[in-house]
Amino acid sequence: MTGRASFKRIAMVTALTSLALAGAAALPSGLLGARQQTPTLVRGNVPGEWRYWGGDAWSTRYSSLDQINATNFSQLQVAWKWNASADGEDEYYRTTPLYANGRLFTVATNRRYAYAIDPETGKTLWSWKALDEGIRWQKAPRKFSGRGLSYWTDGRGNERVIVVTPGYHMAVLDAKTGKPDPAVGKNGVVDLMEGLGFTLVPLAVDDNGPLVFSELAPARKAKPGETWDKEKGIGADGTMGIDPALGQIAASCPPIIVGDVIIVGNSHIHGYYPTKLRNLPSWIRGFDIKTGKQLWKFNLVPQPGEFGADTWKNGSTVGTEGVGKNDAWAPYSADPDLGLVYIPVGMPLSDEYGGHRPGDNLFGNSLVALDVKTGVRKWHFQMVHHDIWDYDTPMAPNLLDVTIGGRVRKIIAQTTKQGFIYTFDRATGEPIWPMPETPVLQSQVPGEQTAKTQPIPSKPLPYAQQGLEEDDLIDYTPEIKAAALHLAQLCRMGPYFIPASALDGSTPHKCSWYAPGASGGVNIDGGAAVDPDTGLMYVASQSAMSTQEIVKDPCSEHRYVQGPRNTCGSPGAMPPPPGYTPPARAGGAGARGGAAGRGGAAPAPTGYKDAEPGTSTIAGISILKPRELGGITAYNMNSGDKTWWIPNGGQMAVPVPQANSVDAALFANVNLPPIPVGRAGAQPQVMNTKSLVIYGTGRQGGPPADANGKFRLYAVDKKTGKEVGAVPIDSRTTAPPMTFVHNGRQYIVFATGNAMSTALVALALPR
């Protein structure tokens, strides 16, 4: 797109928004709906609406609306609250709803029911109570409401809402009624376990519970003639699915729709404590919205003969040792003009040990651009080779048109757990700023073969603590620096990508510093919003540090699993070998002697000199120098430079050393610098409007509740990061918020709560 074209597009956005704000209130909603049936789409969205999970196909989380602005943000009031638990419980409510053509759409409950809501009153217009998925639901790896759903219209009055269920079915519903479209699949439902090359088998269970520890207590193939024992809730219930012996797949994110093509992938089990060495790989598929017919399939674990298959040195076919996962579980983005969809891909099987899958393991940890119509790979970039850090690509990439060095560039910026933003020309995949393959530390764990190099972006600078080096340590006095260095050297140090150490003494250290850890950086809750007008990017992240220590696991098929525990004794784990005794456990007796074994005596106070490896505080003070990391970091993507930074919730305070620590004297007469108030390991949740960045503090981030038990939704100036407003809310946000204009009134809606207290909350200015 040329600079001139960009200007035209911006002007059109503003004009349409003004029209919506100025004129909509005078129009009956029916007329409004009719007028909006043939709107001009901007990035796949109608200005003032929110038709994609990320606001538009570019995942900007941007709205050109400005009725709510710095002058009135703090006047926002609750317009309505929609009870998302009315039909059942959930995990935490991680959904961002959609607004399209006069209706709000969402999912809710751990069965992922779909709903349409009146945006003005918060009343339910229709609901779709999913299918009875039987064993497919009972043993689904991702039993929660998920991130949301998808919307499609042909612009001629036909509208659809698409939801993928926990049991991996895809339903195409009439957006006006919630009724499944009979022209699609079987009665409006496509079984996503079909079309992957497996013969579906009847399923059975031996217990009435869910999966345990990722993959234990799974379903199984039913025996011939097996029936359902209604009383015990076991047996074969008639459900068909992929043979569970091959593994488990599911989905938790909505598909993305470009033109008439639904692009859908899958998520997978957790990779924390796998016991099985083999699991299903992952796929991206295109489906025809009008029929449900599968159009194409792209293998995220390349099969023999395909590009990338040689990055699996032991082979890549289903059933090969070490093969599994590579699931693209985050939301996707697309450029409808280029006809490309962008897939952020997760990691292969087993989060912290890759000794069973030598090679770079494409397309794990990659950003993959696929042709929407054919599924053919246009380009890809692997951001982490042979991942052993649980660095799944966790968030939809953000698209922007910016001017770099006087040249208009169509870019795509991928935020990651590892704290880097990887920026590319989205048409070609060419890095915008150099990302040289850089030598990295090598694993010392037996059997592990780490990649010799990793690509390291030269720009933008990271938004989270990476690794641990001497320069990162507090050095307020020589004694404090020496103490911090003593603790730091107890675990393996390095700038980034520090391989895990083994607790069994087979490596020089028993732990490795882990920053960012498995939760990022950016993860499920955070991610970025971008301003298509200015090219600013607002990254919501966390910055925390922990350690990696892997352990041998005699009860798993994997040589090592993440420590400090193994899986022995867990339901479904392999029995331990004869003579096995549990290893000593930190924080508890290795030999389970009961209360008498330890007598409950408090340990003698210890200082840093006697601290366990992995201790990262001295008298409660972090050994890390306070830096402007985590929270919200604004980048100017025209230059790649940081513009501003704020902590999550905006508050800073001077930490106080623990007075009862034997190390407290180290900090006597030391003026400590302030640090952010609130948990470092929590991510804010951002969106942006014409003039504001609006954010919630996330599930456990930011300052604690005030004296009235209230949290806050914040607004900051987009150019400076200065707080311009804060609204009391009853409970923290649990997903990124969204906004839209309906009948001339701008609303901000966010999800909140968990279990049986989930809700959508709509805020608006007083009438």
The smaller minimum CB distance to other proteins, of residues 414 and 523, is found at 523
Nearest to 161 by CA among 289, 291, 288, 332: 289
Closest CA to 749 of 687, 706, 692: 687
State which residue, 136 or 143, has the beta carbon closest to other proteins.
143
Closer by beta carbon to other proteins, 28 or else 594: 594
Based on the number of CB atoms within 10 Å of its own CB, is 40 exposed (0-12), middle (13-18) or buried (19 or more)? exposed
**468: contact with other proteins by CB under 8 A:** no
Among residues 355, 681, 696, 721, the one that binds other proteins under rule CB under 8 A = 681
Residues 714-753 contacting other proteins, CB under 8 A: 732
Q: Closest separation between CB of residue 701 and other proteins, Å? A: 9
Position among 700, 706, 709, 722 found at the interface with other proteins (CB under 8 A): 700
Q: Which is nearer to other proteins, 305 or 600 (CB)?
A: 600
Instruction: Report which DSSP code applies to 633.
Output: E
Question: What is d(CA 749, CA 746) in angstroms, rounded to the nearest whole number?
Answer: 10
d(CA 509, CA 556): 23
CB of 210 to other proteins, least distance (A): 5
Distances (CA, A) of 718 to 127, 332, 492, 643, 724: 37, 25, 40, 10, 10
Q: Is 269 exposed, middle or buried (0-12, 13-18, 19+ CB in 10 A)?
A: buried
- Candidates 17, 60, 415, 519; binder of other proteins (CB under 8 A) is 519
Closer to other proteins by CB, 94 or 410: give it.
94
333 versus 519: smaller Cβ distance to other proteins: 519
Binding test (CB under 8 A) with other proteins, winner from 66, 91, 321, 425: 91
Residues in the chain: 767
Tokens read off for 736: 């990124």
From residue 391 to residue 430, what is the string marking binding to other proteins with x (rule CB under 8 A)? ----------------------------------------
212 binds other proteins (CB under 8 A): yes
Name which of 206 and 612 has its Cβ closer to other proteins.
612
Total binding residues toward other proteins, as defined by CB under 8 A = 53
By CB under 8 A, which span of 62-70, 115-123, 188-196, 568-576 interacts with other proteins? 568-576
**Interactions with other proteins, residue window 260-289 (CB under 8 A):** 270, 272
Q: What are phi and psi of 67, to 5 degrees?
A: -60, -40
Decide: is 434 part of the binding site for other proteins (CB under 8 A).
no
DSSP H helical segments within 360-406, as ranges?
none
207, amino acid identity: D
Alpha helices in 547-706 (DSSP H): 594-598
Instruction: Give me the least distance between CB of 229 and other proteins, in Å please.
Output: 20
104: Cα separation from own chain's centroid? 23
Min dist CB 142 to other proteins, Å, is 9
- Asked if 682 contacts 630 with a C-beta cutoff of 8 angstroms, the reply is no
For 597, residues 6+ apart whose C-beta sits below 8 A from its C-beta are 589, 591
Q: Is 505 in the site for other proteins (CB under 8 A)?
A: no
Q: List binders of other proteins among 569-628 (CB under 8 A).
A: 569-571, 585-589, 592, 594-595, 597-603, 612, 614-617
Smaller CB distance to other proteins: residue 581 or 671? 581
Which residues from 539-558 bind other proteins, rule CB under 8 A? 542, 544-547
Distance CA 755, CA 703 (A): 23
Beta carbon of residue 379, minimum distance to other proteins (angstroms, whole number): 32
Distance CA 57, CA 43 (A): 6
Residue 682 found at the interface with other proteins (CB under 8 A)? yes
Which amino acid makes up residue 186?
K
Nearer to other proteins, 578 or 587 (CB): 587
In three-state secondary structure terms, 664 is helix
Minimal distance, residue 590 CB to other proteins, in Å: 10
Least distance CB 108 / other proteins (angstroms): 15
Residues 120-149 within binding reach of other proteins (CB under 8 A): 143
Residue 26 phi, psi dihedral angles, 5° rounding: -85, -10
Residue 745 is classified by DSSP as E
> What is the distance between the alpha carbons of residues 304 and 687, in angstroms, rounded to a whole number?
42
Residue position matching structure tokens 């892997």: 550
Contact status: 182 vs other proteins (CB under 8 A)? no
Which one, 270 or 552, has the nearer CB to other proteins? 270
Position among 58, 92, 128, 151 found at the interface with other proteins (CB under 8 A)? 92
Greatest CA separation for the chain: 80
Q: Which is nearer to other proteins, 436 or 597 (CB)?
A: 597
Which is closer to other proteins, CB of 339 or CB of 564? 564
CB atoms within 10 A of CB 4: 9
Nearest distance from C-beta of residue 486 to other proteins, angstroms: 17
Q: Which residue lies nearer to other proteins by CB, 82 or 711?
A: 711
193 touches 283 (CB < 8 A): no
Answer yes or no whether residue 755 interacts with other proteins by CB under 8 A. yes
How many CB atoms sit inside 10 A of residue 570's CB? 17
Separation CA 9–CA 548 (nearest Å): 48
Query: Which residues form the interface with other proteins (CB under 8 A)?
Result: 91-92, 143, 209-213, 270, 272, 517-519, 523, 542, 544-547, 564-565, 569-571, 585-589, 592, 594-595, 597-603, 612, 614-617, 679-682, 699-700, 732, 754-755
